[in-house]
Amino acid sequence: MEAPTYRTEPVSFARRGGRLSDRQQAAWDALAEKHVLDVPRLGTNTSVDPAYVLDTRAAFGRSAPLVVEIGSGRGEALVHAAAEQPEVDFLALEVYVPGVAQTLVTMRHRGVTNVRLLVVNAAEALTTMLPPASVHELRVWSPDPWHKKRHNKRRLVTASFAELAARVLEPGGAWRLATDWEEYAEQIRSVVDASPDFDGGEWSPRFEGRPLTRFENKGLSVGRTIRDVEAIRRSA
C-alpha cells in the first residue's frame, strides 16, 4: 500500500539534540511513565497518527478544565501555573526532549502532579489528536519568531493555525499569546483580528498567570518589549 503523504507544510520548529543531565535523567526515570504520554506515530518521532484521539480523562485520571501550552520549553511557566491551579489539568506540547526532562525536574521539586507532556508537533495535535471544543485555554508563549524573511513561512501563528485553535477551544475559551519580537507580535494581532472565530486582537495587559521566565528576561535585557494578545473563542 502506498505510504500516506506526510507534512506537506513546513513545521514551526527545528529539532535540537542534547543529552539529559543526571538530574534530568533521574526525573525522567521517575516520572516519565506517568507524565510523558506516548502516542502512535506516523512518519517521525514528533508526529501523531491522525486516527488517534487523546482521552484526557484517562490521561489525567479525572475530568477537569484543560489548559494546553504549546512550546513549553523548560516548563517554567507551565509548572508555575499548574502549582497555582491544582484543580486544572495542564497539557504541554513540546518537541525538545531535554526541555521536557527539565520540566519533570521542576515538577518533582514542586510536587506538581496535574501536568502531562507530549513530544509532538502542535499543529498535528490540534488537527486531529485533541477533540473539538475540549480545551479551556490555549497558551502560546514566545513562539519561535523565525525572524529571517525567508523563514517567515515557518511561523506557528497564521490564519490556518487560528482555525486549529478555534477547533479545539470551547466557546468562551481563551487563546493567550505573548512574544518579544515586535514584527511577529503585529502578525499575531492581525491573525487574531482577521479570524471569524475569535474576539480580540488588541494588545492585552501581561497575563498574571505567566511568570517572568529566563527566556523573557533575555529579551528584556536587549530592549525588547513583551507583547500579549488575548483572543476569546466565539460561540458557534
Residue 71 identity (one-letter amino acid): G
Residue 155 identity (one-letter amino acid): R
CA 185 to chain centre: 17
Question: For the chain, which domains are there?
Answer: 35-233 (3.40.50.150)
First to last CA, the chain: 39
Confidence band of 18 (pLDDT split at 50, 70, 90): confident
Measured on CA atoms in the order 201, 206, 208, 212, is the torsion positive or negative? Answer: positive
The three cell numbers of residue 227 are 507583547
Write the DSSP string, the chain. Answer: -PPPP---S--S------PPPHHHHHHHHHHHHHHB-----SSSTT---TT----HHHHHTS---EEEEES-TTSHHHHHHHHH-TTSEEEEE---HHHHHHHHHHHHHHT--SEEEE-S-HHHIIIIISPTT-EEEEEEES-----SGGGGGG-S-SHHHHHHHHHHEEEEEEEEEEES-HHHHHHHHHHHHH-TTEEEEEEEPPPTTS---HHHHHHHHTT---EEEEEEEPP-
Distances (CA, A) of 90 to 59, 81, 182: 11, 8, 28
Ramachandran area for residue 172 (φ above 0: left; ψ -120 to 50: alpha; else beta): left
The reported pLDDT for the residue numbered 13 is 44
Render pLDDT for 185-201 as a digit per residue (tens, 0 to 9). Answer: 999 999 999 999 999 98
Distances (CA, A) of 116 to 154, 198, 221: 26, 27, 32
The three cell numbers of residue 169 are 477551544
Share of residues in the chain with pLDDT > 70 (%): 90
Res. 14: pLDDT tops 60: no
Q: Who contacts 116 (Cβ-Cβ below 8 Å, separation ≥6)?
A: 35, 36, 37, 59, 60, 89, 90, 91, 92
144 is catalytic: yes
The reported pLDDT for the residue numbered 150 is 59
Nearest to 175 by CA among 134, 230, 236, 94: 230
Res. 12: pLDDT tops 60: no
Res. 1: pLDDT tops 60: no
The reported pTM is 0.91
Nearest to 117 by CA among 87, 95, 88: 95
Active-site residue, selected from the candidate residues 22, 38, 89, 144: 144
The reported pLDDT for the residue numbered 16 is 53
Render pLDDT for 74-119 as a digit per residue (tens, 0 to 9). Answer: 999 999 999 999 999 999 999 999 999 999 999 999 999 999 999 9
Res. 33: pLDDT tops 80: yes
Render pLDDT for 44-72 as a digit per residue (tens, 0 to 9). Answer: 999 999 999 999 999 999 999 999 999 99
Confidence band of 4 (pLDDT split at 50, 70, 90): very low
Render pLDDT for 131-156 as a digit per residue (tens, 0 to 9). Answer: 999 999 999 999 998 666 654 687 99
